Amino acid sequence: MNFASDNTSTVHPKVMEALIRANEGHAPSYGADALTEAAKARVREVLEAPEAEVHFIASGTGANALAISSLVPSWGKVFCHEGAHVLTSECGSIPFWTGGGTLVPVPGAAGKIDPDALAQALHESSRPDVHAGERSALTLTNSTEAGGVYAPAEVAALTAQARAAGLAVHMDGARFGNAVAALECTPADLTHRAGVDALSFGGTKNGAMMVEAVVIFDPARAPGLEMRRMRAGHLLSKHRFLAAQMLALLTDGLWLELAAHANAMAERLAAALAAVPGVTINVPRQANQIFATLPAEAHTRARKAGAVYHPWPRVQAEEGDLSVRMVCGWSTTPDEVDRLVATLRG
């Protein structure tokens, strides 16, 4: 009964099979192999972006930092949600990789930036002189750290504000598959057609071993990206093993199948939890994460039975009811969900 994170899931068998096939014979290094070219072409096809620049990275933090630092000068400001992973959980990687850029937190419910709050933040940062730094980028997370999902129209509304202020737009898509599956829209409608310039396209949380794709829809917006990747140590020599994972996920819609399953398990869990006496669902479920408050005795029972999930926020009072995050992944089973709920019910 592990609901700690979608990072704790195993690698999907089809991805593992692809890695085994890639392990035959020799291939050119540093991304010059045929498998990498095929995977890049497939990313472009899925996103309906034939001119996009695509690079495979082994971590989500690396993908975000590479993409954003390619769009932002060292004196630039990056607007993000106040709970965004880039702000709270990436150890200052954006200021580090940009060489001094700053993150400007913006509030909003369910991890989604509120348009009025963004307008206010942009206004407060509009001083047109060298003392204030330069407004440079907006980064959105979809689906969000708090379980929310931006619809294409919501993305477009925020990117319009960004455009009017001269900002580039990045999307952290560590759970991009969950957002697309939840909305049943096209990946293109949720990204470049809605005004997104760069995407961190996640695979690791969705059945891969370790692969994300940095996608720049207009390569002219991110000069020097390849040099940044090399200098940062993110150009893996045996690149075919990254490419094999992404290509497997994007073959026959596997990535959306896995994300839809994770979402469905979260829906099952949320519905069942809502019927447990004393349990409160804190945020309506939209993708594959559940945020709830558990009675202390129910939490104790679940822990003793081996259930794994995180307190959320991570630091809370040691006594009383507990707010938690539960995450479903591609490998979560109905039986796991039902056993957890039965244990909490007592």
Residues 246 and 264 in one domain: no
Please give the residue range of the domain that contains residue 317: 255-345
- The DSSP 8-state label assigned to residue 36 in this structure reads H
107 and 175 assigned to the same domain: yes
pLDDT, tens digit, for every residue of 142-177?
A: 999 999 999 999 999 999 999 999 999 999 999 999
* Same domain, yes or no: 248 and 266: no
Question: What 3 state SS string does 239-292 have?
Answer: CHHHHHHHHHHCHHHHHHHHHHHHHHHHHHHHHHHHCCCCCEECCCCCCCEEEE
Give the end of a domain, one of 219, 252, 285.
252
Considering the domain boundaries, does residue 81 fall inside one? yes
Tell me: the pLDDT tens digits for 256-309? Answer: 999 999 999 999 999 999 999 999 999 999 999 999 999 999 999 999 999 999
pLDDT score recorded for residue 47: 99
Residues 155 and 218 in one domain: yes
Residue 1 located in a structural domain: no
Q: Which of 222, 252, 282 is the last residue before a domain boundary?
A: 252
The three-class DSSP label of residue 128 is coil
Beta bridge partners, 56, equal 213
d(CA 124, CA 118): 10
Same domain, 17 and 159: yes
164, part of any domain: yes
Contact 299, 279 (CB under 8 A): no
In a domain, 141, yes or no: yes
**Residue type at position 159:** T
Report the CATH number at residue 306.
3.90.1150.10
CATH code (residue 72): 3.40.640.10
Which of 209, 229, 252 is the endpoint of a domain? Answer: 252
Q: Is residue 6 part of a domain?
A: no
- Res 321: pLDDT: 93
> What distance in Å separates the CA atoms of residue 12 and residue 319, rounded to the nearest whole number?
39
Q: Do both 122 and 208 map to the same domain?
A: yes
Low-confidence ranges of the chain (pLDDT < 50): none
pLDDT score recorded for residue 320: 85
- 130 and 239 in a single domain? The answer is yes
pLDDT for the residue numbered 129: 81
Domain count, the chain: 2
106: closest CA among 144, 135, 79? 79
- 296 contacts 322 by C-beta, under 8 angstroms: yes
Question: Are 101 and 236 in the same domain?
Answer: yes
Q: So what's the pLDDT on residue 313?
A: 85
Instruction: For residues 77 and 95, give the distance between their C-alpha atoms in angstroms, rounded to a whole number.
Output: 9
| Per-residue model confidence (pLDDT) at position 36 | 99
Residues 247 and 268 placed together within one structural domain of the fold:
no
